[in-house]
Structure 1
Amino acid sequence: MTMLDTLFGLIPAASRGQQWLAEDLQLVNWGGYDGAHRVRFSPGATLLCGGSGSGKSTLMDAYIALMMPHTTPFNGASNGGVTGRPRGEDQRNILSYARGKLDESRTEEGTRMRVLRGDGTDTWTAVAMTWVDHDGSHFSAVRAWYVPAAARVLEETVRVRASAEGPVDLAALDGAAAHRFSDASLRAAGLDPLATDREFSARLHAVLGIGAAGAGSKAMSLLARIQAGQQITTVDDLYKRLVLEEPETLASADAVVAHFDELEGTRQRMLTARQQVAALEPLRGLRLRIAASAERVRLIDALGDLDAPGSPAAVWRAEKRLGLLRDVEAELRERTRFVDAVLREKHALAGAAESERDALAEVLRASGGDRLETAQRELREVQRRLETVRDSRVRLDEDLRALGEETTREAFEGVLARASDAAGAAEAKRDARATYSEAMTQRTAAARELAELEAEERAASQHHDSIPRPLHEAREVIARAAGLSAEDLPYVGELVEVRSEFEPWREAFSLALGGFATTLLLDVAHLGRFRTAIDAVRLPVRLRYEGVQTGLEEVRGLDSSTLPGRLDYRSTPFTGWLQDRLEDRFGFVCVDHADELGRHHLALTLSGQLSQGQRGAHGGHGAASVLGFSNARRLRELSALVETARARSTAATAASRVAEEALDAIEDRLTRFARITRVSWDQVDVDSLVAEQERWTAVLGEVAEANPELARLQEQIAELRERTERLRQEIARASVERERIEAEWAVVVDDVDASQATLDAAERAGRELHDDERAFLDARFTLTEAAASGSASDVLVRFDAALASAAQRLEEDRRSAAQAHEQQRESVGRIMAGFLDRWPNPNLIVDPEASAGDFERLLDALETSGLHRLESEWRDSLLTLSGNDLTSFDSTLGRSLREIRERIEPINVIMQDLPFYDDGHRLQITTRENQSEVRRRFRRELREVRAQIQAVATEEEREQVYRRMSRLIQRLRRTAPDFGDLVDVRNHVRVSAERVDALTRAHVALYDHIGEKSGGESQELIAFIVGAALRYQLGDAGADRPRYAPVFLDEALIKADAHFTARAIGAWRGLGFQLVIGAPNDKYSAIEPHVEVEYDILKDTRGRSWARPKVGLAD
C-alpha cells in the first residue's frame, strides 16, 4: 500500500478526502441476540436506547469483539467494579456471548449456567460490520466462533477471521458452520479467511486507513477507551488515559532492569562457580592423602612381622644387624688384644711385689718382730670385742632406765632375780588381756547398737509410721516378688493412730493388739498370686499377712469407751474391713480399775491388762509402739535412744583405749625382762675391756721404743701387701672382662650366623626387599646420628632396643594410616554431601570411591571454564554495559517528555479551527512540568553514576560504583514504591486546557478539574480533546475528515442538557466522526434531537434481545 509523508506522519495515499463509514452491524447468536440481526447506522449519528440489561452494551461489545484485540474488556460502561483477566471467566467473554448466558443457578452438582443455546450441543456465533466509502465502495470484516458443547475456554473453539470486498450476509454462514468453519466453506461463502489476529488487524487498518505509519493499534486502543466512557475528573487524567499511550520510558526501564538482571545472574553463576571450586578443591589433596594412607597400609601389610621368617621386615632386620654385628666383632677383637696385654702386665707386677714383701718379712722376723706382731694382733681383737660390748651395753642401759634401775652390777643381778618370777608375770598379762578383751567387746556392742539405732532413725524419717525398719525391708522384698507396691500391703499399725486425748492408753492398746498390729493386709483378690510369688523368698523376720475384702464403707462415730473408738483411721481401701475386725475381735472396753474387768466380756486397763471372759493377759511392757500413721513420736523416741547409745559408745571407746594402754605397758615390761635375762654381765662389762686395751697399747709402745726400725719395716710390708692385693683385684677384673668378651663374642657369632642364614634363605627363595620397603623401614627405625655414635656394641644394643617395639610401632603406624584413610574418606563424603546439599545434582551421588572421579571432572570443568576467575572482567563489562543502559534510559526520559509536548501540538492545530464555547473562542491544551526534588535527585544520581562508571580506576572504586548502580537500578523495577513517579514520564507533567480568544489567542479561562464543570460542559470538553486526539491517532489530522469515521460511545453524553449535548455532538461531527451512542431509556432525550437514526433495544421474558428501529434509514 502506497504511503505519503505528511506533517502527521505516514498515511495511506488513498485516504485523501475519503472516509469509511459504518453501514451496518450484523450479529448471529450473539448474547441475547438469538439468530441473525442487522443494525444499520446513519452516516452522522445513531442512537441505541433501551433499559438496563436490554442489550445495548451487548451490541457495543460486538463491535469490540470484531475490531479490538483480545485484551480489551467487554461492557466497558459497567465493568468498573469487575476484577479478573479481560474477557476471563469472571467477566463477559466470547463463550458466554456465544451461548447466550442468562444467569447461574445452584444444583446438587454445583453451579450451573442457564443459557439460550449450546446447552449440551454445539453452537456458533458471528459478528460482522460493513463499511462504505464516499464512492460507494464496500468493505466487510467478519469474526465467527464455532463452539463445541464441551468447550470451556476460547482455545477449544474454532475461530474465524475474514474480510470481504463488499457487503456480506452472516445468515449465509449457516452452511459453513455445518463444516466447522473450514477455510473452503468460508471461501464458498464469499469470505477471505485470515490465519491470525495480527493479519486480520493489519488488513483492517490498511484498508480502512486506521492509524499513521501502521500505528493502527494505538488508534484502536484510543477508540476502545472512548467507547468505554470511563469516569474522568481532570483534564490531566483525561489526556493521559485517553490520548497518551504507555511511554517508552517504562519499556526502557524494563530493558535496563532485564539487562542488569541477566548480567547479575551471570555474576551469581560466577560466584556459585567460585564457591563450588572452593568447596571441591580440597578433594584433590584428600584423594592424594587417601592414596598415600592406602599405600602406607599396603606397605606395612607387605612388610609383615619382624619375627616372621622370610618376611621383608625380617630380611631388612637381618641386613641391618649383620652389618652392625660385623662392627661388633671387630670391636671385640680389639678389646681382646687389649685385655690380654693388661693381664700379662698385671701378673708381672704382682709377682715382683710378692717377692719384695717376703724379703722384708724375713728381715722383720730377724729383728724381733714376733712380739710386736702378737701385741698388734691382741689389740685388734680387744678393739673388736669392745665395739660389740658397747653395743650390748647401750641396749641394756635403755632397758634398765625403762624399768627404773641404774646400770650397775648389783642392779643388774636384782633385775635378773625379779625376771625369774614367770608365774606372776603370766598372771598379770592374762588379767590385762582379759580386761582389754572385755572393753573391746563392750565397745563393739555399743557401736553396733548406735549404728542400728541411727539406721532405724534414718528409716523412720522416710516413713510416716512407727513400723520397725526390718519389717519395712521385709515388706519391700515380698512386694517386689509379688509385683505389688508397699501401698498394696499396709501393716495394721500404719492405718491407725491413738487419738491425742487418749495418748496415755498407747502402750495398753499396743499390748492389746499385739501381733495383729504388725499383720500385713492385702486385697483378697491378690491372695493366690501373692502366696505363689513369695513362697521362694527367704526373709530374716517372720511376717503375718491376711487377705481382706477391700473397698468396704468406713464407719463414723465409733464408741469412744472402747479401743476401736479411741483410734483415728487413715482412709484407705482397707479401713472399712479393719474397723469391722477391731470391733469384732478387739472391741475392748477401756476401764480405769482392774476390779472393773469382770463387768465386761472384753476389757482393758491403762496398764495393759486385758480380760476376755475367764481368760486374760498382762505384761510385755517397755516394747516400742508400732501404732500410728505419723512418725513424729517414733522419731522422738529414736532420737533419745540414739543419744543414750552414743554416750555409751563414747564411754566404751575410752575404756577400751585405757585397757589397751595397760596391756601394752605389761607386754613392754615383760619384753625388756626377757632381753635382760638373755645377757650376762661379762657381755656388757665395758670397763674390763678398756683396761685390757690400755695394757696392749703399752706393750706396743715398749716394743717400738726398743727397736725404731721395726715400724718402718712394718709400713713397707703393709704397703707391699696392699699393692699386691690391688694388683690381684685388677687381674681378677681383667680376667672377668676377658671371659665376658668371649661370651659376648660367642653370642655375636651366633647372631651373625642367624642373620646370614636369614639372608641366604631369602636369596634362595627369591624374596627381595623393594626400595620403597627399605626406605620406609630405614626412615622408621634407623638410629639418629647421636644414637648411632659410640661403640659398635652400644649401637647394636640401641638398634635392638629400637626394634623391640617395632611390631607395636608398625601396628600403630598401620592403625594410624587406616584411621587417616577412613577420616579422609569421611571428609571427602562430607564435602560431597555438603556440595550436593547446596547444589543438588541428580547425576552425582555421595560415594568417596565411585563418585570421586565425577566430582574431580566437575572441578576440572569449572576450572577450565574459568567462570570463577572472570568476576573482575565481568564486573568491568557489567559497569560498561549498564552504564550505556543508564545513558540510554536518561536520554529516553528526556525524549519522552519532549514527545508528550510534541504530541499536543498537532492536536492544538486541529482544535484551533473548531469553535469552542462559542464562535469567538478556541480550546487549547497546555502542559506544565511537575517539579519534584525526588526526580531531580534521581536524574542527578543517574548522571553521577554514569560519570563514576567512566572514571572508575581501582577495584575498590569499581565495587563502590557497582553497589551504587545496583541500588539505582532497584528503583527502576516496576515493584519499586517510587517507580511510577520516577519512570512514568506522564507523571512528570500536568496537562490542562484553556479557552483562548480565536483571534488574539489571549487566555480566557482554565479547564483543569472536569468534575467542577457541569455535565454538558464536561462532555463538550471531552469531545473536543478526545476527538482531536483521535484525529491525530487515526493519521488524518491534516485531512478535511478522518478516513475512519465510526466512534462508539457507550452511555456517553447522558449528563448534559440539550445545549451542551448539541455542542458536544457538534464537536464530534465537526471533527468528521460518525457517532454510535448508547444511552438508557431515561437519559437520551437531550441526545435524540441530534441523531438521524434511533433504535429501541428490547428484551423479552425469555432473555432474547433485538433492535427495533424507532427512526430508521430509508431503504
Structure 2
Amino acid sequence: MSDTTNTSFGDLFSTGQIRLAEISAYNWGSFHGLHTAVIDPEGTLITGDNGAGKSTLIDAHMALLNRPGQTSFNIAASQGDRSDRNLMSYIRGNYGTAHDGSQTLNLMKRDGATMTALRALYRADDGSEITLVSMFWIRQAGASMTDLKRFYLVGKRNVSLEVLLQQFGSNNVRQLKQYVDDDPMLKHFDNSFSAYQEYFTRLLRMENSNAPALLQRALGLKKIDDLTALIRELVLEPSKVRDLATGVVKEFDDLIAVHNELDTAKQQKEVLSILPDHNRNYESSLEEQGQVNSEAAGLTAFFGEQGNRLWGLRCEDLDRSLDDLTSDGKRLAESVSQNEERVTSLLHAYQQQGGDRLDSLRREVEDAERGFQTTTNKAHDYQKDTRDLGLAETLTASAVRDNIASAKAVLVDLPAQIDDAKNAFGESRGALSGITQQIKNLQAQISEIEKRPNSNIDAAFQRLRDEMVESLRLNKDGVVFIGELLDVRSTEARWRGAIERALGGHRTTLLVPEDKFRMVTGWVNSRHTGLHVRVQVVSKTERNPEFLGGGFLRKLKWKEHPYRDWLKRHLARFDLHCVDSTEVLNDTPYSMTREGLVHMEKGRFEKKDGTRVDDKKNWYLGFNNLSRLAALQEEGERLREGLDSARSDESVKRQEMDILVASEAIWKRVAQTLWDQIDVTLAKQHLDTLKNDLAALNAPDSDLSKAKALLELAKKELQEIRTAQNQNARAVGGFELEIRQANKSRQVSALAASAGLADAVRQSLSLRVGILTLEHLDKLNQLEKTQREFLDDALNSIGKRANHYNGRMIAIINSFKTKWPLVANDWLTTIEGRQDYIDYLDKLNNEGLPDLVERFQQRLNNNTTQSLGRMQRAIDDEREDIQDRIATINEVLERTEFNHGTFLRLKHEDEHYAHVKEFTALLGSVLKHASSVDHEARFLELCSLISKLEKATNSATAINLESQRLLDSRYRMTFYANEIVKETGAVRDVLRSSSGKSGGEKESFAGIIVAASLAYVLTPDGAPHPMYCTVFLDEAFSNTADKVSRRVLRVFRELKIHVNLITPYKNLNLARDSARSLIIAERKIDGHESRLSQITWDQLDQQSAERREAKQTQLAGVAEGLGIQMEQL
C-alpha cells in the first residue's frame, strides 16, 4: 500500500477539533472600549436582559467570519426580515433616534473619527491557537462605507487587541503592518476580505465555502421556512459550472473574433470577387479599343492602298478603250473629207439653177413665223394678266397705254403691302412651329413619364437617380425623393398648389441611408449633372414629431416606408399654418394661403410666382404620376387645339402673301409691256406676204427642185458622218478626261497610302472590309465612310463597355474602402489602384481565408466544443455529488432521534423547467454534432447556446432563478424531509418547511436539520466529525419543551459540535445542562454602554436569590405603605 493509503486520521487532523476560546471587541456597538469574553470548551451560556448586548457580542464574531456586505446582524430578532443593524451602525454605536422637528437623527456614541477592532481566538485540542482580527476606522463624521478603512489579520498564535491597538496608535497603519510583517506567525491582508477569508478557512479547516454563512444562519434559526432554500444556499457547496460556463463564453469570444475575421474575409471576398472578371473585361475592352483605334487610324491608308491598286486597273482599261476610239476617229475623218467634196459639187449645180434666192426667202419666212409666234404668245400673256388684274384686254395702242399708267400707279404702294403680308406670315409660321415643338417635347415628356409610373418626380431627376443606383449598386428602395413619399389628401386638393410651393426643393431632395452617403456624395461630386441636386442623409429617429394643428403637413398622406417617421420629424420644422385670408395671414407667423403667399417669421412675407400656383406640370408630390400624366395630357389636348388654329391662320397668311407677291409680278409685266411687242395684226400681214413668194419658187416641176433634192441628200449623209465624228471626238475627250481623273485619283490614293500601314492592321482591315474589285471603285469613299462610322460606333460601344467596367470597379473599390478603410488606407480609389484590391483578393483566396477557416474549425473543435463537454460532465458530476452529500447528511440524521422512535431523511425531487430542457437539448445537439463538417451550422447552433450561457453568466442576470436553474444543479432539485419510523421504516410525515407546526415543533425541526447540516458542512473530507466545531444558538428553544430541547442539544453534542447558547433570563435550567460557563451582559441605561461578567452557576443562583429577596422587600414596603399585610409563604 502507498503512503497515502497508510495515512491515519491523526496524521491528517493532528490538531484535533478547533473551538472558539475568546471574543474581543473594541468600540463595537454598545461595547465602548475593549471587552473580552472567554468561551468555555464545554459550552457557554450568554445571558442578560433584552438589549444588554448579547447578540451584539456574537455579531462581532460573525463580522470576523463573513464579508461585511453579506453579514446579517441580530439575526435571531430579525428572523429573515431586514435588520436595523449593520456594520456602520455597530462602529458608530447607534443606540436610538431623535427628531428635531424637521428630520430624524440617529443617536450614536461615536459620531466623529473612530476606530473599531474585533478579535477571535481559536484553540485546538493540541493547544495550538489561531487569531482572527478585523480593524475598521473612519477619519471623519459620516456613514458612507466608501470612507471606511479596513485591515484584516490572521495569526497562528494568540494576538491581543491591546498590542495591535498600541501599534496602530493614531492611525499609524504603516507601523501596524511593520509589526505584523516582522512576526512570521502573523499575516495581514490590508482590506482584501477574500484573501483573508480564504486563508482563515484553510487554517480553521472550513473546507466547505458555505460554512461561515451557515454558522451565521444557525445563530438565529428558530424555524425553516423553506428547506430547499436552506440546503441549496447553506449546505450544498456552490456550483462551479458557472465558472466553466464563463470560460466557455470567453473561449467563444475568441471563436467569435475568428468567425468575425472569417466573416469579414468572406464579405471582402464577396465584394471583390467580381473585380478580376471586371478587370479582365476592362483590359480586354482597352485592348480591343486599341485595336479598333489602330484600324480607324489606318483606315485612310488602307483605302489609299486599295484605291491606288484599283485606279491602276481602271487606267489600264481606259487606255485600251481610248486606243480603239482613236482608230475610229481617223476613219471618220477620211469619210467626212470625201463627203464634203461631193456636197460642194452638188451645191454649185444647185446655185446655177437659182438656189441662192430660194434659200434667202425660206430663211425670211422662218424668221417671220418665229416673230409671229412670239408676238402671239406675248399678246396672249398680256391679255391674261389684264384679265387677272381687271383691266381692259383690248389689243389697241391706246388701251395698252392706259393699262401701263394704271400699273405704275399701283406699283407705288404694293411693296409695303407685301412686306406687311410677309411679316404677318412669318409670325403665324413661328407660332405654328412653336406649338408643334411644344407638342413634340410634351409627347417626349409623356413617353418618359409613362416609363416610370411609380413616381411623380421630374424625369431628369429620376434618370439621375437610376444612373446613381446602377453605378453604385444601391438598393433603389433606399434611395428615394421626398416627393415620392408624400401626397396631398383628396379632401385637401384645393391646397395642392400652395403645398407644392411650400415644400419647394424638398420635393426633389434625394434621401440616402446613413451608411451609403459617402459613396453618393463622391459620385455626385465627380460629374456635372445639369440639375440642382439635393441629398439628405436619413438617420435614426427616436421620437415622434409634432405637427402644427392647422399645418399643411396634416393635409398630406405619408407613404408606408422605413423613412416615414424620420421624414415626419425632418419636415416638421418646415410646417406652416394654412389660413383662408390675408387678414389671418398677417397676424400668423409661419402661415400660408392657398394662393401661395407665405408669412415667415413675424413681418416677413414672400410669394414665389415664378410659375403659377395651379400649374400642375410643376407638381411633384404623389405615390404615382397619374395626376402629372393627366395634367400633361390635358396640356397636350390644349396645344393640339391651338395647333389647328395656328395651321389655319398660317394658311390664310401664306395665301394673302402669295396673292400679293403674284400680283406684284403681274403689275410689273403690264407696266413693262410695249405695243409693238403685242401687235399681232402687223406680224400676220408680213408672214403672209413672204409665204406667197416662197410658194411660187417651190413649184414641183422646176429644175431647181430636182437640184435641191440631190443637194439635201448629200448634206444629210455628210451630217450623219460628222455626227458620228463628233460623237467619236466627244468619246475620246471623255476617255482622256476620265484617264486624267483616274490618274489624279490614283495619285490621291497613293498619297493616302504613303502614311504606311502595319501588316497586322492591314490584315484585320482586309478581313473586316473584304476583297475589293473594280465594281467597288466608285464606292470607295462611301465604303471608307461606312467603315469609319462602323469603327466609330464600335469605339463608342467599346468605350461604353470599358466605362461600364470602370464604373463597376470604381464602385467596388469605393464600397470596399468605405467598409474596410484600414485595410485599404494606402490604396488608391481610382481605377489605377485596382491591382492592389485584386492582389488582396488573391491573398484572401490563397492565404487569408484558408488560414481563417482552419483556425475557426480548430477553435470550434478543440476549444469551445471540448469546453462544453467538460461543462456537461461537470453538471452531471455535480448532480451525483449532491446525491452523495444528501446521503452523507442522511447518515448523520439517521443516528439522531427526531421524535420518539423516529428520524429524518432528506429526499430530493427533480424540477423540470422548459428553458432548462431547451438548454439541455441544445447542449446535447451541439455535442452530438461535434464531428459534423457543416461548421457554419455548428457555429450558429453554438451561438444560440452561448447566448443562453452569456445571460446565465452575466453578473447582472446570473443571480436570477432562471440562470441558476440553468447552470446550478442545486436549483434543478427541491428538497424535503421524511420522518421515518425506526422500527418499520414507514414514513410518518413529510416536511418541506416548518409551516403548519407548533413553535416547539418548528424549533425542533430546525435544530435537527441545522445540526446535521453543520455536521456535514464543518466536517472535512476524510474526517469523522467537524474540525471547526463552535456554534452559537440565539434564543433557539424559546418555544420548545425542555425535554425536546435537551434531545436536540444532545444531537449537537453527539455530532461533536461545540454548542453555546444565547438567551435572556429564562430557560436557565436547560442551559445549566448544556453550558459549563456563564457570561452575563449588562447595560447602563444612562450611558448606553454594555459590559460583560463571567460567573459560575453558584454565583448566578446567589444573585438570583438576592434579586428575589430585594424584590420581595420592595413589595412589602409598598404593601405596608398601602396598609396591606403580607404573609410569608
TM-score range, shorter chain: 0.5 to 0.7
- Counterpart contact for 1:161–1:197, Cα < 8 Å: no
| 3-state secondary structure, aligned to 1:274 | helix
Aligned to 1:142: 132
User: 2:384 matched to 1:398?
Assistant: yes
| 3-state secondary structure, aligned to 1:1044 | coil
Aligned to 2:908: 927
> What CA deviation, in whole Å up to 9, does each residue of 1:767-788 have, x standing for no partner?
xxxxxxx999979999995399
- Counterpart contact for 1:227–1:1050, Cα < 8 Å: yes
CA distance in 2, matches of 1:55, 1:794: 132
User: 2:721 matched to 1:720?
Assistant: yes
Q: CA RMSD in A?
A: 6.8
Shift of 1:742: 7.4
In the superposition, relative to structure 1, how do residues 147 and 862 fare at CA in structure 2: closer, same or farther (>3 Å)? farther
In the superposition, relative to structure 1, how do residues 850 and 717 fare at CA in structure 2: closer, same or farther (>3 Å)? closer
> What CA deviation, in whole Å up to 9, does each residue of 1:597-627 have, x standing for no partner?
xxxxxxxxxxxxxxxxxxxxxxxxxxxxxxx
Aligned to 2:261: 269
User: 2:331 matched to 1:352?
Assistant: yes
- Counterpart contact for 1:379–1:697, Cα < 8 Å: no
Amino acid at match of 2:34: A
User: 2:180 matched to 1:186?
Assistant: yes
Amino acid at match of 1:418: A
- Counterpart contact for 1:158–1:181, Cα < 8 Å: no
Aligned to 1:455: none
In the superposition, relative to structure 1, how do residues 712 and 96 fare at CA in structure 2: closer, same or farther (>3 Å)? farther
**Higher alpha-carbon deviation: 1000-1009 or 169-178:** 169-178
CA distance in 2, matches of 1:105, 1:858: 78
- Counterpart contact for 2:271–2:812, Cα < 8 Å: no
> What CA deviation, in whole Å up to 9, does each residue of 1:879-937 have, x standing for no partner?
6865555555544444433332222212111111212123x221221223335676556
User: 2:226 matched to 1:234?
Assistant: yes
| 3-state secondary structure, aligned to 1:161 | strand
Shift of 1:129: 2.0
- Counterpart contact for 2:46–2:1081, Cα < 8 Å: yes
CA distance in 2, matches of 1:176, 1:10: 43
| 3-state secondary structure, aligned to 1:1011 | coil
Shift of 1:139: 0.9
| 3-state secondary structure, aligned to 1:911 | helix
User: 2:167 matched to 1:176?
Assistant: yes
> What CA deviation, in whole Å up to 9, does each residue of 1:105-146 have, x standing for no partner?
999xx99999866956xx7554322233446x1412132447
Which of 922, 946, 967 is the matching residue for 2:944?
967
Aligned to 1:514: none
Shift of 1:1008: 2.0
Which of 114, 130, 149 is the matching residue for 2:121?
130
CA distance in 1, matches of 2:1092, 2:685: 171
CA distance in 2, matches of 1:798, 1:427: 56
- Counterpart contact for 1:390–1:686, Cα < 8 Å: no
In the superposition, relative to structure 1, how do residues 359 and 145 fare at CA in structure 2: closer, same or farther (>3 Å)? same
CA distance in 1, matches of 2:416, 2:784: 68
CA distance in 1, matches of 2:759, 2:222: 94
> What CA deviation, in whole Å up to 9, does each residue of 1:698-720 have, x standing for no partner?
97999999998878756543432
Aligned to 1:1073: 1057
Aligned to 2:1009: 1025
| 3-state secondary structure, aligned to 1:217 | coil
- Counterpart contact for 1:392–1:684, Cα < 8 Å: no
Shift of 1:845: 9.6
Shift of 1:674: 3.9
- Counterpart contact for 1:293–1:820, Cα < 8 Å: no
Amino acid at match of 1:398: K
**Higher alpha-carbon deviation: 1022-1031 or 961-970:** 961-970
Aligned to 1:418: 399
| 3-state secondary structure, aligned to 2:1027 | coil
- Counterpart contact for 2:980–2:986, Cα < 8 Å: yes
CA distance in 2, matches of 1:1113, 1:272: 86
- Counterpart contact for 2:346–2:707, Cα < 8 Å: no
Equivalent pairs counted in the alignment come to 832
| 3-state secondary structure, aligned to 1:36 | strand
Shift of 1:154: 8.0
TM-score (norm 2): 0.57
Which of 61, 67, 72 is the matching residue for 1:63?
61
- Counterpart contact for 1:357–1:720, Cα < 8 Å: yes
> What CA deviation, in whole Å up to 9, does each residue of 1:725-770 have, x standing for no partner?
22222233344446557777998999999x89xxxxxxxxxxxxxx
Task: Could you tell me which runs of 5 or more consecutive residues in structure 2 were left unpaired when the two chains were aligned.
Answer: 425-582, 584-652, 1101-1129
**Higher alpha-carbon deviation: 779-788 or 61-70:** 779-788
TM-score (norm 1): 0.58
Question: Which structure 2 residues correspond to residues 894-905 of structure 1 after superposition, within 5 A?
Answer: 894-905=876-887
Aligned to 2:212: 220
Aligned to 1:786: 769
- Counterpart contact for 1:328–1:793, Cα < 8 Å: yes
| 3-state secondary structure, aligned to 1:1010 | coil
In the superposition, relative to structure 1, how do residues 1039 and 935 fare at CA in structure 2: closer, same or farther (>3 Å)? closer
> What CA deviation, in whole Å up to 9, does each residue of 1:316-373 have, x standing for no partner?
99x9999998998888888777766665554443232133134234435656796799
Shift of 1:269: 2.4
CA distance in 1, matches of 2:105, 2:834: 62
CA distance in 2, matches of 1:913, 1:381: 171
Which of 236, 240, 243 is the matching residue for 1:244?
236
Amino acid at match of 1:907: I
CA distance in 1, matches of 2:410, 2:779: 69
> What CA deviation, in whole Å up to 9, does each residue of 1:782-827 have, x standing for no partner?
999539967999999899999999xx99x999x9999999989976
Shift of 1:1046: 0.8
- Counterpart contact for 1:118–1:149, Cα < 8 Å: no
In the superposition, relative to structure 1, how do residues 672 and 775 fare at CA in structure 2: closer, same or farther (>3 Å)? closer
Question: Which structure 2 residues correspond to residues 324-723 of structure 1 after superposition, within 5 A?
Answer: 345-364=324-343, 366=345, 392=378, 395-396=381-382, 398-399=384-385, 401-402=387-388, 413=394, 417-421=398-402, 425=406, 674=671, 679-682=677-680, 716-723=717-724
- Counterpart contact for 2:241–2:967, Cα < 8 Å: yes
In the superposition, relative to structure 1, how do residues 890 and 204 fare at CA in structure 2: closer, same or farther (>3 Å)? closer
Aligned to 2:156: 164
Which of 910, 914, 938 is the matching residue for 2:892?
910
- Counterpart contact for 1:378–1:696, Cα < 8 Å: no
| 3-state secondary structure, aligned to 1:349 | helix
Structure of higher CA gyration radius: 1
> What CA deviation, in whole Å up to 9, does each residue of 1:922-978 have, x standing for no partner?
12212233356765565455545544555x46x5xx655554454345444415995
- Counterpart contact for 1:704–1:710, Cα < 8 Å: no
Aligned to 2:18: 20
Aligned to 1:1096: 1081
CA distance in 2, matches of 1:849, 1:657: 61
- Counterpart contact for 2:303–2:784, Cα < 8 Å: no
In the superposition, relative to structure 1, how do residues 233 and 701 fare at CA in structure 2: closer, same or farther (>3 Å)? farther
Shift of 1:994: 1.9
Task: Could you tell me which runs of 5 or more consecutive residues in structure 1 were left unpaired when the two chains were aligned.
Answer: 84-89, 300-305, 307-312, 406-410, 444-570, 572-655, 757-773
Amino acid at match of 1:271: D
Amino acid at match of 1:717: L
User: 2:860 matched to 1:878?
Assistant: yes
In the superposition, relative to structure 1, how do residues 425 and 843 fare at CA in structure 2: closer, same or farther (>3 Å)? closer
- Counterpart contact for 1:290–1:825, Cα < 8 Å: no
CA distance in 1, matches of 2:1002, 2:913: 30
| 3-state secondary structure, aligned to 1:1012 | coil
In the superposition, relative to structure 1, how do residues 689 and 340 fare at CA in structure 2: closer, same or farther (>3 Å)? farther
